[in-house]
Amino acid sequence: MLGLTIEQIAYLFRGAGWTIVLSLLGFVGGTLLGLPVALGRASKSRLLRFASGVLVQLVQGIPLPVIMFVVYFGISIAGFDVPALVAAGVAMTLYSGAYLGEIWKGCILAVPRTQWEAGECLALTKTQRFIFVILPQALRIAVPPTVGFLVQIVKNTSYSVVINFFDLTYSAKVINNATYKPFTVFTIAALIYFAICFPMSLLASRFDRRLHRS
């Protein structure tokens, strides 16, 4: 088929499987990191704003492949021998955490200040105001850009090829080296990436429209 063996195509799909695994790691880790980052960035405390700001600026100012290298070799130098998956997972967590943190900060700040005030005037504590009044409204606003960012996560896992993590891009490279059919191989890889990303883009724009209607 297409001049590739079934084994070679299966190999590509195994790579795609690891792309999905790394994307999930990046999203889950990014959520765990992004939440406190968002809270810090939206906080009134200058110290918290500064600390979370430093992380965001650092990550946004360094290309993702370089973050991958730094994490991968950093961990090795520290004397730990970790699989590329762990290094790529940590790098994706840093990357997604910083960007999701910025996105979610915007969502928290997008809830009108008068909503905080209304909660305050009803004698709700600060935490209660955040949990019962602000957060549900911020979450609603956050859905479209978050789903949209998932697409970025999936696409950017391909940078893990620089530390030889076995994902879709890496497996395509391997198969190309064996078959010398770059156009066929990378077109298949492109279609698989697209098949993963397109439904999410579609979902994001649908959420976006629904939000703007209401």
Partner 1 sequence: MTSPAAPLVRFKNVEKNFGALQVLKGITLDVAPGQVVALIGRSGSGKSTALRCVNGLEMINGGELEVCGRKLHAGKVDLLELRKDVGIVFQSYNLFPHLTVEENITLAPRKVRRIGKAEARDIAAEVLEEVGLSEKAQAYPEQLSGGQQQRVAIARSLAMRPKLILFDEVTSALDPELTGEVLKVIERLAREGMTMMLVTHEMAFARSVANTVVFMHQGRVWETGPGAMLANPVTDELRQFVGSGL
**Closest to partner 1 by CB, 72 or 130:** 130
Q: Of the ranges 16-24, 27-35, 62-70, 113-121, which one interacts with partner 1 (CB under 8 A)?
A: 113-121
Figure out which of the listed residues 115, 152, 176, 184 binds partner 1, where binding follows CB under 8 A: 115
Question: Which long-range contacts (C-beta less than 8 Å, at least 24 apart) are formed by 18-21?
Answer: 18/85, 18/165, 18/166, 18/167, 18/168, 19/154, 19/157, 19/158, 19/167, 19/168, 19/169, 19/193, 19/196, 20/154, 20/196, 21/85
CA distance readout (Å), 179 to 8, 9, 13, 30: 9, 12, 17, 37
At its nearest, how many Å lie between partner 1 and the CB of residue 129? 10
The reply to whether 122 sits near partner 1 by the rule CB under 8 A is: yes
Judged by CB under 8 A, the chain residues 138 through 177 that form the site for partner 1 are 140
* Binding residues for partner 1 restricted to 40-99, rule: CB under 8 A: none
Pairwise CA distance, residues 100 & 142, whole Å: 10
Q: Shortest Cβ distance from residue 126 to partner 1 (Å)? A: 9
CA distance 35 to 6: 43
Residue 133 interacts with partner 1 (CB under 8 A): yes or no:
yes
d(CA 79, CA 112): 49
The only residue of 5, 66, 117, 202 in contact with partner 1, by rule CB under 8 A: 117
Give yes or no for residue 124 binding partner 1 (CB under 8 A).
yes
**Cα 131 from Cα 125, distance rounded (Å):** 10
Shortest approach of partner 1 to residue 107 CB, angstroms?
13
Candidate segments 33-41, 68-76, 83-91, 131-139, binder of partner 1 by CB under 8 A: 131-139
Q: Among residues 45 and 214, whose Cβ is nearest to partner 1? A: 214
CA distance 148 to 11: 28
Binding site for partner 1 (CB under 8 A): 114-115, 117-118, 120-125, 128, 132-133, 136-137, 140, 214
